[in-house]
């Protein structure tokens, strides 16, 4: 047991180390994906704006505009023909046509960013990081685009650009910004103003739309405001390690508690098994829950109960067999002595005939014991077939009528169609069960035995009644016990060994049915066999 749990703990330790390594790898992959998505978000508006300016322009003008954009943004830009780009597939082309951009990661933390210009022509830029120059260049490109339109139309153009960018764009009056004198001077000089947001997590960018002509900073003049633009904060490895360690520690503690509880429950099963091996057959395991260990405990208790029952039956059989054998063996010994002392052949023949009956009785007893043992101590070989139950009952009634001519054995047919009379049974064992009940009824009946059969949608029922003395209700449970005799002297006089009804009960058990006893309307006992029509029902 200890070695098993050491292997379990070793496996858990290996699992935890593996989980830690995979967590580190997951952090790297997550950060890489977040960087790629961040690049796409930040570059989407910039590249769409450049592509918008290059669209439908002649080659010389396209080259000139491309060089200006490249100078402002500080990243390599180029025009590529769509068929020459192998890293862009058909799905990506549909994405680009819709106005989005495509980011293709490269080595050394670089990435290609593609944007759609016109059929067959794409804009490609190589970006390594989102730098201040890229932000400045984007701001200047937006400004150039807006000032190319008359002042009344700039607000409308800005609204069209807002859909292309992932961060806010505003056109504000200088009075609405609330800049310091230093920042106002920078705007007056035509420079960009960058202001950090709270805790340095974002920036806002400002630039005057009239270049360096903001003399005196007229409060009604317009200023282009971009942002806030939030920075990408990568998950630090130390933070992730801390989280992973906390999670792993919690999982380890939970696993330890579960395994510890499992170990305790298995130890109790081990103790119960040890107690049973030492002869304490009453040892059982407390069943807790319906998990695999709980089901194992239930199976263990069932096995222990079955073993205890088999051993109890074995002891009963040994006592019963020794008791039953004593009388015929004593009669045989007495008969041998009488044969030796007999003075005539007739007297010798009489004793030999008596001995022959005793031998037949012994043979019948051994047959009953073997039949009961095969039904009680293991699963017998049973072949279920669809059988007409009425034919079995008629056969038994005819056989017992010849054996017991003094008893009127009446069979009450079921009045059912042949199809409804059929059920899944082992014909040989069912014949034996009905035969035992009818023979038992004939022993105690005064004049009459009644056999009947009934069936419903799910079950079949055979009733065997007699007009004998009946069985007290207090003895109904005991009547099926092997070698049990309710009236020892009466049973011995009528024959039998106390195994017939036990055999009936076991036959019904293997048919998933029951054997019952009740009072009969004839005044005696009523034994009933009830079992499902279909095997496995």
**Helix/strand/coil for 426:** coil
Q: Examine the pLDDT at 380 and tell me if it is beyond 70.
A: no
Q: How confident is the model at residue 236 (pLDDT cuts 50, 70, 90)?
A: low
Q: Examine the pLDDT at 74 and tell me if it is beyond 80.
A: no
Please indicate, yes or no, if residue 244 is contained in any of the structural domains: no
Please indicate, yes or no, if residue 255 is contained in any of the structural domains: no
Please indicate, yes or no, if residue 488 is contained in any of the structural domains: yes
Closest CA to 240 of 26, 35, 37, 32: 26
Strand order through the sheet with 77-81: 77-81, 121-127, 111-118, 102-105
Are 66 and 150 in contact, with CB atoms under 8 Å apart?
no
- Of 202, 234, 266, the one marking the end of a domain is 234
Please indicate, yes or no, if residue 149 is contained in any of the structural domains: yes
Going by the DSSP 8-state scheme, the letter that residue 414 receives in this structure is -
**CA–CA dist 429, 427 (Å, integer):** 6
Are 308 and 282 in contact, with CB atoms under 8 Å apart?
yes
Full DSSP string of 31-55: HHHHHHHHHHHHHHHHHHHHHHHHT
Please indicate, yes or no, if residue 464 is contained in any of the structural domains: yes
- Of 234, 261, 285, the one marking the end of a domain is 234
Closest CA to 320 of 482, 501, 500, 506: 482
Are 111 and 129 in contact, with CB atoms under 8 Å apart?
no
What range defines the domain where residue 414 resides?
382-532
Most confident listed range (46-55, 468-477, 494-503): 468-477
Average pLDDT of the segment spanning 247-251: 75
> Number of helices and strands (H, E) in the chain?
14, 15
Q: Examine the pLDDT at 82 and tell me if it is beyond 50.
A: yes
- Of 209, 234, 259, the one marking the end of a domain is 234
Query: Which run of H or E residues covers position 322?
Result: helix 292-341
How many other β-carbons are positioned within 10 Å of the β-carbon of residue 231? Answer: 14
pLDDT > 90 in the chain, percent: 3
Give per-residue pLDDT as tens, 425-442.
888 888 888 988 998 889
Average pLDDT of the segment spanning 273-297: 81
Going by the DSSP 8-state scheme, the letter that residue 288 receives in this structure is -
Please indicate, yes or no, if residue 516 is contained in any of the structural domains: yes
Full DSSP string of 90-147: HHHHHHHHTT--EEEE-STT-EEEEEEEETTEEEEEEESS--HHHHHHHHHHHHHHHH
Please indicate, yes or no, if residue 87 is contained in any of the structural domains: no
**CA–CA dist 73, 50 (Å, integer):** 10
Please indicate, yes or no, if residue 76 is contained in any of the structural domains: no
Give per-residue pLDDT as tens, 393-416.
889 999 888 888 888 888 887 777
Domain containing residue 460: CATH number: 3.30.565.10
Predicted pLDDT at 58:
75
Give per-residue pLDDT as tens, 8-30.
566 666 766 776 677 677 777 77
Predicted pLDDT at 320:
62
CA dist list (Å): 134 to 13, 101, 123, 125, 128: 48, 16, 16, 12, 11
Average pLDDT of the segment spanning 457-468: 89
Are 535 and 385 in contact, with CB atoms under 8 Å apart?
no
Closest CA to 121 of 78, 82, 67: 82
**Helix/strand/coil for 536:** coil
Q: How confident is the model at residue 488 (pLDDT cuts 50, 70, 90)?
A: very low
The residue count of the chain comes to 537
Largest CA distance in the chain: 160
Bridge partners of residue 114, in order along the sequence: 102, 124
Query: Which run of H or E residues covers position 514?
Result: strand 514-519
Q: How confident is the model at residue 463 (pLDDT cuts 50, 70, 90)?
A: very high
Average pLDDT of the segment spanning 58-63: 77
**CA–CA dist 413, 212 (Å, integer):** 117
Q: At what angle do helices 2-54 and 237-277 cross, to 10 degrees?
A: 150
Rg (CA), the chain: 50
CA angle 198, 199, 203 (to 5 degrees): 55
Question: Residue 459 contacts by C-beta under 8 Å, 6 or more apart in sequence?
Answer: 513, 530, 531, 532, 533
Looking from the CA of 170 toward its CB, the CA atoms found within 13 Å total 14
**Residue 280 dihedral angles phi and psi, to the nearest 5°:** -85, 85
Most confident listed range (2-11, 51-60, 261-270, 480-489): 261-270
Tell the burial category of 39 from Cβ atoms under 10 Å away from its Cβ (0-12, 13-18, 19+).
Answer: buried
**Helix/strand/coil for 56:** coil
* Structural domains counted in the chain: 2
């Amino acid at each position: 047991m200890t070695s098993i749990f050491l292997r379990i703990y070793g496996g858990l330790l290996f699992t935890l180390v593996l989980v830690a390594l995979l967590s580190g790898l997951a952090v790297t992959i997550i950060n890489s994906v977040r960087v790629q998505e961040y690049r796409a978000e930040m570059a989407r508006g910039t590249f769409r704006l450049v592509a918008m300016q290059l669209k439908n322009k002649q080659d010389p003008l396209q080259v000139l505009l491309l060089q200006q954009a490249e100078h402002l943004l500080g990243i390599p830009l180029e025009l590529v023909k769509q068929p020459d780009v192998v890293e862009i597939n058909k799905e990506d082309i549909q994405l680009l046509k819709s106005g989005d951009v495509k980011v293709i990661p490269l080595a050394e933390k670089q990435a290609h960013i593609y944007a759609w210009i016109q059929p067959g022509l794409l804009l490609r830029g190589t970006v390594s990081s989102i730098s201040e120059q890229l932000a400045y260049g984007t701001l200047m490109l937006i400004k150039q685009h807006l000032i190319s339109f008359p002042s009344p139309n700039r607000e409308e153009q800005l609204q069209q650009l807002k859909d292309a960018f992932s961060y806010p764009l505003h056109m504000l009056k200088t009075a609405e910004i609330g800049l310091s004198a230093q920042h106002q001077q920078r705007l007056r000089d035509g420079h960009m103003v960058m202001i950090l947001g709270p805790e340095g997590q974002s920036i806002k960018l400002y630039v005057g739309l009239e270049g360096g002509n903001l003399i005196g900073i007229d409060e009604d003049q317009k200023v282009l405001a971009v942002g806030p633009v939030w920075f990408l904060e990568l998950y630090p490895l130390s933070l992730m390690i801390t989280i992973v360690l906390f999670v792993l520690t919690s999982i380890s503690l939970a696993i330890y508690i579960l395994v510890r509880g499992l170990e305790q429950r298995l130890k109790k099963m081990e103790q119960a098994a040890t107690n049973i091996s030492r002869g304490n057959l009453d040892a059982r395991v407390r069943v807790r829950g319906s998990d695999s260990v709980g089901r194992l405990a239930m199976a263990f208790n069932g096995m222990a109960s079955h073993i205890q029952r088999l051993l109890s039956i074995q002891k009963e059989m040994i006592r019963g067999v020794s008791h039953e054998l004593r009388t015929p063996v004593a009669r045989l010994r007495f008969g041998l002595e009488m044969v030796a002392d007999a003075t005539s052949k007739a007297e010798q023949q009489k004793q030999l005939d008596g001995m022959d009956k005793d031998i037949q009785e012994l043979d019948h007893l051994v047959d009953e014991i073997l039949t009961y043992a095969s039904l009680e101590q293991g699963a017998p070989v049973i072949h279920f077939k669809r059988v007409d139950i009425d034919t079995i009952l008629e056969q038994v009634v005819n056989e017992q009528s010849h054996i017991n001519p003094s008893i009127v054995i009446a069979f009450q047919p079921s009045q059912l169609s042949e199809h409804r009379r059929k059920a899944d049974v082992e014909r040989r064992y069912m014949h034996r069960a009905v035969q035992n009940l009818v023979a038992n009824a004939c022993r105690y009946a005064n004049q009459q035995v009644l056999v009947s059969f009934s069936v419903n949608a799910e079950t079949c029922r055979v009733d065997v009644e007699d007009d004998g003395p009946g069985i007290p209700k207090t003895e109904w449970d005991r009547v099926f016990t092997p070698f049990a005799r309710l009236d020892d002297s009466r049973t011995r006089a009528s024959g039998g060994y106390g195994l017939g009804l036990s055999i009936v009960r076991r036959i019904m058990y293997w048919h998933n049915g029951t054997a019952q006893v009740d009072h009969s309307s004839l005044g005696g006992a009523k034994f009933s066999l009830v079992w499902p029509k279909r095997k496995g029902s």
